[in-house]
Amino acid sequence: MIQSTSLKFKESSSVFKKILVANRGEIAVRIVRACSEMGIKSVAIYTDADRRALHVKKADEAYSLGSDPVAGYLNAHHIVNIATAAGCDALHPGYGFLSENPELAEICAKRGIAFIGPSGAVIRKMGDKIQARIAMTEAGIPCTPGSDGNLESLDEAIALAKKIGYPVMLKATNGGGGRGIRRCDSENDLLNNYERVISEASKAFGKPEVFLEKCIVKPRHIEVQILADSQGDAIHLFERDCSIQRRNQKLIEIAPSPQLSTTQREYIGNLAVKAAKAVGYRNAGTVEFLLDADNRFYFMEMNTRLQVEHTITESITGVDIVQEQIRIASGLPLRYKQSEISYRGFAMEFRINAEDPKNDFLPSFGKITRYYSPGGPGVRMDAAIYTGYVIPPYYDSMCAKLTVWALDWERVIERGKRALNDIEVYGIKTTIPYYQEIMNHPEFRAGTFDTSFVESHPELTNYAVELPPELIAAAISAAIAAHHGI
Ligand code: ADP
Ligand code: ADP
Ligand code: MG
């Protein structure tokens, strides 16, 4: 934890005056909050579908991107034009959308707007998983055995898979968000999946390149948060365990990992800093690793942006990562030395998705008839919803994040259960009851789980559906009326 007893206010004059938030949803609200605490004006952007979105209400100013629900958020030139016209001196890309698009960073640089993230060149290099693997191998960071270039043909894939041994992972070189990844257990699987992954990659990322790497069986997903400044200094803020995933997408994240020893924690933290320094990284970033059953770490990818689950790292270290991103982008050196960073307790984040776990996690958009935010000790809510808000169907289904903190593992689970019970979201289906089941699961409670946990436990969706109080009242009235023959 960061300890500070200083009562002095300083340096606010040297950071930005106005920041354009090039995103929507909870992350846009999160960035607006950071700006507000730093005395910086914030500018939101929105498409017609987002006219009533929370980020538009929370920012100091808001500008329309037009009628297409998505295209506006992906139009880098138009967004930078808005930033310039509104008098912004910086732009925060959030996650998703253009956050890992090197062109946005380059356009900003050309137009004299500070991009709150790394340089376009570093985004380009690390966004390409092959380039990243090459850079990491050169830096002495262990990578999963696999391709040293994009696959040119199915024959090449078959030959390489034979060499590294099945199972293998076929992955989109420019992938993200858990898409464009398929496990192949045999040559037959590879034959069936090769064209499929290429087509998924072309559709989702606009680039058909794919590569192969060894599939690590039942791994833990361990990632390290790093911060690096323009002076070349870099530190880590410890790790997060993101092994609770469904279809390669994270559901619950934990910091620090309950599955690492102090020695492993120190090793992986230092390795991530070495990785960041090797590529001349600047700003906040995450180095993702897989940890195999024999406790070996393998570099998987680097995310050159703020991550969804940054909140748990903030909870255990006390560092406000978004504010640090802003300071770094303004040219200030890191505020903390590695020796000043420590962590306390455990934090857990739940991605509250508008989905129905009982129906194969089908998106469940629509009107929030009632929303009540949880509170009490150790509870943080980052939400993009409010009572009466209609969740539009065009975007990611994550509509809120619940982050809880407590001094030890047992209590963070109990706090999670209590806070999940506290929240009220009516009108749509969410992943909240599903997470309650996970909190009660002995394997999870024991703190030993890997990325196969969710798929190995299909029974987690067997919970009883809780009806909203008004429906229960209506059902009771109907039963009484029927009994009396009314
Ligand atoms: P995190 O890495 O922060 O845990 P996710 O992988 O869940 O985040 O991605 C966060 C959001 O960004 C999701 O909406 C996801 O679909 C989107 N996203 C991530 N990477 C990409 C990408 N390369 N292209 C398009 N969208 C992406
Ligand atoms: P994305 O860019 O979509 O986040 P990642 O490369 O980070 O893709 O992989 C997402 C998830 O897929 C990982 O967290 C892990 O669960 C699984 N995965 C990816 N590569 C492997 C692998 N080689 N072996 C086992 N699991 C993997
Ligand atoms: Mg990843």
pLDDT in tens, the chain (486 residues): 776 666 555 555 579 999 999 999 999 999 999 999 999 999 999 999 999 999 999 999 999 999 999 999 999 999 999 999 999 999 999 999 999 999 999 999 999 999 999 999 999 999 999 999 999 999 999 999 999 999 999 999 999 999 999 999 999 999 999 999 999 999 999 999 999 999 999 999 999 999 999 999 999 999 999 999 999 999 999 999 999 999 999 999 999 999 999 999 999 999 999 999 999 999 999 999 999 999 999 999 999 999 999 999 999 999 999 999 999 999 999 999 999 999 999 999 999 999 999 999 999 999 999 999 999 999 999 999 999 999 999 999 999 999 999 999 999 999 999 999 999 999 999 999 999 999 999 999 999 999 999 999 999 999 998 777 777 888 888 888 888 876
Residue 100 Cβ < 6 Å to ligand 1:
yes
Specify burial of residue 280 (Cβ count, 10 A radius: 0-12, 13-18, 19+): middle
Note whether residue 479 is domain-resident.
Answer: no
Residue 285 Cβ < 6 Å to ligand 1:
no
Residue with the smallest CA separation from ligand 2 atom 12 is: 248
Total domains, the chain: 3
- Which amino acid does the sequence have at 331? G
Distance of CA 303 from the midpoint of ligand 3 (Å)? 7
Cβ neighbours around 294 below 10 Å, total: 5
CATH of the domain at 174: 3.30.1490.20
Please provide residue 181's backbone torsions phi and psi, each rounded to the nearest 5 degrees. -130, 125
**Which active-site residues does the annotation give?**
305
**Prior bond to 363 cis, omega within 30?**
no
156 and 282 together in one domain: no
Closest ligand 1 atom to the C-alpha of 303? 2
R_g of the chain, CA atoms, integer Å:
23
Q: Which residues surround ligand 3, an ion (CB under 5 A)?
A: 288
Task: Name all residues whose Cβ lies below 6 A of ligand 2.
Answer: 144, 169, 175-178, 181, 213, 215-216, 219, 221, 245, 248, 288, 290, 300-301, 451
Note whether residue 393 is domain-resident.
Answer: yes
**Closest Cα partner for 118 from 321, 307, 284, 274?**
284
Closest ligand 1 atom to the C-alpha of 396? 14
Closest ligand 2 atom to the C-alpha of 129? 6
Range of the domain at 106: 18-116
**Closest Cα partner for 342 from 324, 316, 323, 368?**
316
Residue with the smallest CA separation from ligand 1 atom 4 is: 308
24 and 47 together in one domain: yes
Note whether residue 121 is domain-resident.
Answer: no
Determine the residue of 30, 95, 221, 287 to mutate for testing ligand 1's pocket, defined as the one with the most ligand atoms within 8 A of the Cβ atom: 95
> Which listed ligand is nearest to 308 at the C-alpha?
1
If you count them, how many residues does the chain have? 486
Note whether residue 162 is domain-resident.
Answer: yes
Note whether residue 482 is domain-resident.
Answer: no
> Which listed ligand is nearest to 241 at the C-alpha?
2
199 and 231 together in one domain: no
pTM equals: 0.95
> Which listed ligand is nearest to 353 at the C-alpha?
1
Instruction: Return the bridge partners of 283, or none.
Output: 228
Determine the residue of 239, 308, 314 to mutate for testing ligand 1's pocket, defined as the one with the most ligand atoms within 8 A of the Cβ atom: 308
Residue with the smallest CA separation from ligand 1 atom 26 is: 96
330 and 367 together in one domain: yes
290 and 327 together in one domain: yes
Give the contacts of 283 (CB within 8 A, at least 6 positions apart): 116, 117, 118, 227, 228, 325, 328, 329
302-335 burial: b if 16+ Cβ within 10 Å, else e: bbbbbbbbbbbbbbbbbbbbbbbbbbbbbebebb
Q: Which of 189, 214, 239 is the last residue of a domain?
A: 214
Closest ligand 2 atom to the C-alpha of 245? 16
Q: Which of 188, 214, 240 is the last residue of a domain?
A: 214
